[in-house]
Amino acid sequence: MHQFLSVFQAGVKKTLDHLHLEFSKLQTGRANASLVEHIGVDAYGQRMEMKAVASISVQDARSIVLQPWDKSVLGAVEKAIQLANIGVNPVNDGIVIRLNFPPMTEERRSQITKIVHQLAEAAKISVRQERQKINDATKEIADEDEKERVQKDLQKMVDDANKAIEDIAKKKEQDVMTV
């Protein structure tokens, strides 16, 4: 494989990984630890991820329980959840914080579906930008046949990446719309 193509492939992998991460943060009909594990919490004089300061457990399809390992950060965890604006109010009982997710309305599902489409489009734009970088770099190739072959392979990789993005988005959309 030509070096330009491996650079492109690495860029596409990064884009797809980012897309998966963003999709994991979107609320579907079920409670999911990934909704809260990356939320920033101001604890011990610095900003830390939720998963670094509390255990996160999914009680059932609609609730998550956050139990800080140190009770002194309970208030900071509660405040971080409120600031994250994930559509749920934290319930602090002095020991743990409970998050009870309401059933998703049809309106909320369609909002999240729009976000899924926006994220997928942003990923496609990122792939096109990667392709442009490689196309600019292939101008240095002296051999016309090799340049043409690299560009042909590159276009096939772009098509594959776009198909993968569409498949991921379609699957996430189904998750969101499933009641």
If you count them, how many residues does the chain have?
A: 179
pLDDT, position 169: 92
Kindly tell me if the per-residue pLDDT of 117 is higher than 80: yes
Architecture of domain 33-100: 2-Layer Sandwich (3.30)
CA–CA separation, 92 and 9 (whole Å): 46
Kindly tell me if the per-residue pLDDT of 126 is higher than 60: yes
pLDDT, position 120: 93
pLDDT, position 179: 60
- Pinpoint the residues of the chain covered by CATH 3.30.1360.40: 33-100
**What pLDDT digit, counting tens, does each position of 67-102 carry?**
999 889 888 989 888 888 777 788 899 889 998 877
Query: Is the CB of residue 96 less than 8 Å from the CB of residue 54?
Result: no
Kindly tell me if the per-residue pLDDT of 1 is higher than 60: no
- Pinpoint the residues of the chain covered by CATH 1.10.132.20: 3-25+105-177
Q: Pick the residue with more confidence: 110 or 15?
A: 15
- The mean pLDDT value of the chain amounts to 86
Helix H, strand E, coil C: the string for the chain is CCHHHHHHHHHHHHHHHHHHHHHHHCCCCCCCHHHCCCCEEEECCEEEEHHHHEEEEEEECCEEEEEECCHHHHHHHHHHHHHHCCCCCEEECCCCEEEECCCCCHHHHHHHHHHHHHHHHHHHHHHHHHHHHHHHHHCCCCCHHHHHHHHHHHHHHHHHHHHHHHHHHHHHHHHHHCC
Q: Does domain 3-25+105-177 have CATH number 3.30.420.10?
A: no
Query: Residue 49 pairs with which residues in a beta bridge?
Result: 40
pLDDT confidence bin for 176, thresholds 50/70/90 = confident
pLDDT, position 100: 86
**What pLDDT digit, counting tens, does each position of 137-167 carry?**
888 888 888 888 888 999 999 999 999 999 9
pLDDT, position 25: 72
Query: Is the CB of residue 164 less than 8 Å from the CB of residue 16?
Result: yes
